[in-house]
Amino acid sequence: MQWTYFIYFAVAAAICWAAGALFAWREDGYRWAIAASCTGLLIFAAFIAGMWLSLERPPLRTMGETRLWYSFFLPAAGLVTYMRRRYKWILSFAVLLSLVFVCINLFKPEIHNKALMPALQSPWFAPHVIVYMIAYAVLGAATLAAVYLLARPAQGKQSQVMELCDSLVYVGLAFVTIGMLFGAIWAKAAWGHYWSWDPKETWAAATWMAYIIYIHFRLHHPSRHKAAMWLLVFGFLLLQICWFGVNYLPSAGNSVHVYG
Amino acid sequence: MWKHPWGYAEGLTICGGLLLTGIMLQFAVGKVELGRLSYPFGLIAGALFLILLIVLHVASRRAGLLRWLSGQVAAITAVSALLLLVIIMGLTRQLPAYEDVLSEASARHNLSMENPAGRMGFMQMTSAWPFALLFLYMLLILGLVTLRRLSRFRLKDLGFALNHLGLFTALFAAAFGSGDLRRLRMTAPLNSPEWRAVDERNEIVELPLAVELKSFGIDEYPPKLMLMDNSSGAILPPGRPAGVEVEASPAVLELAGWQVEVVKYFPAAAALINSDTTLFAEMEMEGSAAAVYARVRDANGAALREGWVSCGSFMFPPIPLPLSDKVSLIMPDREPRRFSSEVTVYTKGGDRRRALIEVNRPMAIDGWQIYQLSYDQARGRWSRYSVFELVRDPWLPIVYAGIGMMLAGAVFLFLSKPRKE
């Protein structure tokens, strides 16, 4: 598998996902939506698996490679949410956001060579990053729901959608916590200490705290929806800084989390 | 304000007060010297904190105001205040905790007395008073809510207990144990036991154990061929550099429109350099470098140039193969796949153990962990010493207990259903 084939897999998957998202809007389209989305996911997964095999390492090192997983998990999270809650719009939003990241990878690919520096050669590498990517996708879905509500404040459905946000945040925060703790255990083995306040770690802590605040706020004020939605947007903003924004901050000059 | 029940205003005011107190303390006495919390002071401080926690917990049964401390508003405001400091920390370039921000050395880095972030301690956030006070306040709240829930524990509180007690345990041990954390750096030469190391300030420390380096090695990835712009030195094509790995010879490789025929490939070779020619002979010796004899054709299949290309080593210079006035074929330095040091470690107790230390595979002995850190970069594979980091953290098991509880707690969080409205 070569990176140059990405466009074929990406286009095929995108067509399936788009079809799935369209079917979701139709009353009788439930099964078709699931079938189309699953096909898209399979195609995309085949590409990731092929890259893994040909690179002889998990494709998780570069930003482009993590975007690959994010583009995969986002429609997956959207699909699971759709199957559980039957929201028509969630697939469209998830697919749209996923396509943004697919396009970034198409137009600004990054080098994908086989080399994996010794610090990344650890059994913790794949779980640490994959768990985080799932978390980002799930929290991305929660943010989409919040933005949808902020843009179209539908009175009747609001508490339903807030409930959806809560369950997505619970799942997302569980994964963020696991990703962070796996990272801590790995850091102890690789760098000598479990937490060094490296810029990436600092922003991971900030992100984690923002979602902790959200959960406690929701428990204390279940009816203050608007503030809760803004909290979700704020948390997701911190998450973006943690994921890639940190590379552009002057404070990250000596981060040990930069792998090109 | 300050009427029962307290709300966000009161919670934020408390945090603001702590923040101000912290800033004033920072100006008055300078940063928190975490090193002073070393044994037995860290242990004593931790014990006092736990006693304070229990006293407050018992007293909170009578005093409603204290009960507020284990409520959600207190938690939300405390975490928010701490989050503010963490964000400031994420935006400000941080200096190592041992460095003296206000000293002359730092002034040279343009971090003079006038720098407000530096003066308030924000450039060494984790040893700044505002951070320390807000952190302890948050830990106190976390401890109180944990105690309150544990004191009337029911099985359905298990997830809550694991999450809160786990976080409390990990943070408590990380904070009060920080003074006992030792991180030392040792440069061990080949075949000569070394028992001295240096701390962050480059002061020599004698250790209760000695490390003897038996051998050091680097496994490298196969060499790569790339194209370089002769005038700028940039790798081509600009923005998305291309490279091909050489794994065997003969082989024909495709590189950004050029056809590269690998006629000979020596993973280890010595260069024979005359005034006008360079030849390579396959040879495994100290300083040998990878070399490829390549024949390069352009897109039309016309043979352009042939010759040797090598990445060089500390013995031999890198050899490029010019293809035109503008472009050369080059071999960048090979990327390391693995560093490893074979060592024998002797302890004061007379114990003697051999081990292979690699990145991600430290060796544990007598409460110390020994990490592969560095080597002589100029000599690469032929480094005659290895640099190790030696870490001792007696509080680590408690931190791990906390992490374990949080991992179990995360599973509960994953399975839990949000409250119905």
Angle at A227 between CA A223 and CA A230, to 5 degrees: 135
Q: Please give, rounded to a whole number of angstroms, the shortest distance from the CA of B76 to a CA of chain A.
A: 6
Q: Do B336 and A117 touch (CB under 8 A)?
A: yes
Render pLDDT for B130-179 as a digit per residue (tens, 0 to 9). Answer: 999 999 999 999 999 999 999 999 998 999 999 999 999 999 999 999 99
Is the same domain home to B230 and B291? Answer: yes
Is the same domain home to B143 and B17? Answer: yes
Q: Please give, rounded to a whole number of angstroms, the shortest distance from the CA of B207 to a CA of chain A.
A: 18
Count how many pairs of residues, chain A against chain B, have C-beta atoms within 8 Å: 138
Q: Please give, rounded to a whole number of angstroms, the shortest distance from the CA of B302 to a CA of chain A.
A: 26
| ipTM value | 0.89
Q: Count CB atoms within 10 A of the CB of residue B95.
A: 16
Q: How is residue A157 written in tokens?
A: 């459905």
Alpha helices (H) along B30-71: 41-59, 64-68
The C-alpha atoms of residue B373 and residue B389 are separated, in whole angstroms, by 6
Helix (H, G, I), strand (E, B) or coil at B6: coil
Under DSSP, the state recorded for B103 is: S
B55 occurs within a structural domain: yes
**Nearest CB partner across the interface for A184, out of B87, B92, B403:** B403
Beta carbons within 8 Å of B29's beta carbon, 6+ residues apart: none
Closest residue, chain B, to A184 (C-alpha):
B403
> 């010493």: which residue's tokens?
B385
**Nearest CB partner across the interface for B410, out of A167, A174, A202:** A174
Residue A237, exposed/middle/buried by CB under 10 A (0-12, 13-18, 19+)? middle
> DSSP letters of B265-311?
EEEEEEEEE-SS-EEEEE---TT-EEEEEEEEE-TT--EEEEEEEE-
Is the same domain home to B97 and B199? Answer: no
Stretch B356-363: mean pLDDT: 94
A104, A177, A180, A185: best mutation site toward chain B, by most B Cβ within 10 Å? A177
Which whole-number Å values give the CA distances from A135 to A34, A49, A103, B73, in the listed order? 22, 20, 21, 26
**Nearest CB partner across the interface for A121, out of B224, B360, B396:** B360
Is the same domain home to B56 and B73? Answer: yes
B192 occurs within a structural domain: yes
User: Phi/psi zone of residue B275: left (φ > 0), alpha (ψ -120 to 50 degrees), beta?
Assistant: alpha
B198 occurs within a structural domain: yes
Is the same domain home to B199 and B343? Answer: yes
Q: How is residue B126 written in tokens?
A: 């984790």
Render pLDDT for B216-267 as a digit per residue (tens, 0 to 9). Answer: 999 999 999 999 999 998 888 887 778 888 988 888 998 888 899 999 999 9
B170 occurs within a structural domain: no
What are the structural domain ranges in chain A?
1-116, 119-249
Is the same domain home to B245 and B356? Answer: no
Beta carbons within 8 Å of A161's beta carbon, 6+ residues apart: A87, A145, A148, A149
Total structural domains within chain B: 3
Is the same domain home to B209 and B357? Answer: yes
Each of the 260 residues of chain A gets a pLDDT tens digit; together they read: 788 899 999 999 999 999 999 999 998 999 999 999 999 999 999 999 999 998 888 888 877 888 899 899 999 988 988 888 788 888 998 898 899 889 988 887 766 666 788 888 888 888 899 899 999 999 999 999 999 889 887 767 788 889 889 989 999 999 999 999 999 999 999 999 999 999 999 999 999 999 999 999 999 999 899 999 999 999 999 999 999 888 888 776 667 777 64
Query: B365: which strand partners?
Result: B368
Taking Cα atoms as reference points, which of A177, A194, A162 lies closest to residue A128? A177
Q: How is residue B359 written in tokens?
A: 């990145």
Q: Please give, rounded to a whole number of angstroms, the shortest distance from the CA of B179 to a CA of chain A.
A: 14
Q: Do A111 and B241 touch (CB under 8 A)?
A: yes
- pTM score: 0.87
Q: Count CB atoms within 10 A of the CB of residue B216.
A: 23
Is the same domain home to B289 and B192? Answer: no
Q: How is residue B385 written in tokens?
A: 């010493």
Q: List CB contacts (< 8 A) between B421 and chain A.
A: 159, 162-163, 222-223
Residue B187 belongs to domain with CATH number: 2.60.98.10
Q: Do A216 and B94 touch (CB under 8 A)?
A: no
Sign of the dihedral through C-alpha B41, B47, B49, B51: negative
Q: How is residue B337 written in tokens?
A: 């796949």
The C-alpha atoms of residue A21 and residue A34 are separated, in whole angstroms, by 9
Closest residue, chain A, to B412 (C-alpha):
A174
Q: Please give, rounded to a whole number of angstroms, the shortest distance from the CA of A208 to a CA of chain B.
A: 10
Closest residue, chain B, to A213 (C-alpha):
B76
Q: Do A163 and B418 touch (CB under 8 A)?
A: yes
Residue-range definition of the domain harbouring residue B150 = 8-154
Is the same domain home to B208 and B352? Answer: yes
Better pLDDT: A246 or B392: B392
Q: How is residue A54 written in tokens?
A: 């040909």
Is the same domain home to B139 and B194? Answer: no
